[in-house]
């Protein structure tokens, strides 16, 4: 069985759970905000990469 490649965002739920379990509520809220921003930026970047790598995408007309 092939090992799954881990990315930092895989740890977000675990870190958030730790912070909440140990009653670091302010840190948990701040971490949740940052994690959501990171995921949003990552998904936007991935969408951009998919778009520019699409063979039907005309970069000349986009720029």
pLDDT tens-digit series, residues 27-51: 999 988 888 877 766 677 767 676 6
User: Considering the domain boundaries, does residue 3 fall inside one?
Assistant: no
Can you give the pLDDT at residue 12? 86
Can you give the pLDDT at residue 37? 72
Residue position matching structure tokens 């991935």: 46
User: Considering the domain boundaries, does residue 45 fall inside one?
Assistant: yes
User: Considering the domain boundaries, does residue 20 fall inside one?
Assistant: yes
User: Considering the domain boundaries, does residue 22 fall inside one?
Assistant: yes
Contact 19, 28 (CB under 8 A): yes
> What does pLDDT average to over the chain?
77
**How far apart, in whole angstroms, are the C-alpha atoms of residue 56 and residue 8?**
32
User: Considering the domain boundaries, does residue 4 fall inside one?
Assistant: no
Summarised one tens digit per residue, pLDDT across range 9-31 is 788 889 999 999 999 999 999 98
Give counts: helices (H), strands (E), the chain. Answer: 3, 0
User: Considering the domain boundaries, does residue 23 fall inside one?
Assistant: yes
Find the domain containing 25 and state its range. 12-55
**How far apart, in whole angstroms, are the C-alpha atoms of residue 13 and residue 49?**
26
State the total domains in the chain.
Answer: 1
User: Considering the domain boundaries, does residue 1 fall inside one?
Assistant: no
User: Considering the domain boundaries, does residue 44 fall inside one?
Assistant: yes
């Amino acid at each position: 069985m092939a090992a799954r490649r881990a990315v930092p965002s895989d740890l977000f739920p675990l870190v958030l759970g730790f912070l909440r379990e140990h009653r670091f509520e302010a840190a948990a809220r701040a971490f949740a905000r940052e994690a959501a921003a990171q995921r949003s930026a990552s998904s936007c970047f991935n969408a951009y990469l998919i778009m520019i790598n699409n063979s039907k995408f005309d970069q000349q007309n986009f720029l």
